[in-house]
Amino acid sequence: MSELIRLSQAITTTLQASMPELATVQALTVAEQHTLLPALIHTFTALQPGADPGDGRTCILASFEARILVDAQHPQAPLQAATLAARLTQLLRQQFWCLDFVEASSNASARPLANTDAVSVAVEWRVQWQQPVYLGDLQWPWPDQPPGTLLFAFSPDTGPAHSAAYQAPEDLA
């Protein structure tokens, strides 16, 4: 789906521009040992059916997760990771990524990831959010009609006996 690729690229571009203190911003990848920290790695975590817009497109409710990684050797690593997670959560408020096929992001939440390694390389926070995404093209299966073929009438003056009083939309202006 080209929409999902464009959305992923738009998220990466926006995050790079809005959070310049991040050394790495990547999509759909795994952090490796040589990944520069602090880093943010985002990905889709779920795609569920959304409300049908009735226009030929398919709406999915996409769930996302961003992993924020900070060097554990940094003196204030837990605070830096929490601060970056809070900034991302703030950035997600009503975020459209400058795309016309997504609705505003919602349900953003952040939490630290419990560290189970005795020798941890990074402190990690995870930020999750959801966003409706419209896939496909608009479809209008009916032929375009010339002006004047659509007429309005207002109750109680409707029906065959009142057809002469019907008005075209352009006449109502």
Rounded to the nearest 10 degrees, how much is the dihedral formed by the CA atoms of 29, 134, 92, 14? 60
Q: Judge whether 66 lies within some domain.
A: yes
Q: Judge whether 148 lies within some domain.
A: no
**Domain of residue 26, residue span:** 3-135
Q: What is the pLDDT of residue 153?
A: 87
130 close to 59: Cβ distance less than 8 angstroms: no
Mean pLDDT over 141-155 rounds to 77
Residues 6+ apart with CB under 8 A from 50: 58, 59, 60, 61, 132, 133
Q: Judge whether 172 lies within some domain.
A: no
Of 26, 135, 123, residue with least CA distance to 84: 123
- The number of residues making up the chain comes to 173
Mean pLDDT over 169-173 rounds to 78
What are the tens digits of pLDDT across the range 8-48?
999 999 999 999 999 999 998 877 878 999 999 999 999 99
Q: Judge whether 151 lies within some domain.
A: no
Burial of 118 (0-12, 13-18, 19+ CB in 10 A): exposed
Overall domain count for the chain: 1
Q: Judge whether 140 lies within some domain.
A: no
Mean pLDDT over 88-108 rounds to 98
41 close to 30: Cβ distance less than 8 angstroms: yes
Rounded to two decimals, the pTM is 0.80
The sheet with strand 122-135 has its strands ordered as 24-27, 39-49, 58-71, 122-135, 106-112
Tokens 């703030």 belong to residue: 90
Residue type, 68: I
Q: What is the pLDDT of residue 143?
A: 78
Q: What is the CATH number of the domain that holds 47?
A: 3.30.2000.10
pLDDT tier at 119 (50, 70, 90 boundaries)?
Answer: low
Q: What is the pLDDT of residue 91?
A: 98
pLDDT at 123 over 90: yes
Q: What is the pLDDT of residue 33?
A: 78
Q: Judge whether 107 lies within some domain.
A: yes
pLDDT at 122 over 80: yes
Q: What is the pLDDT of residue 164?
A: 86
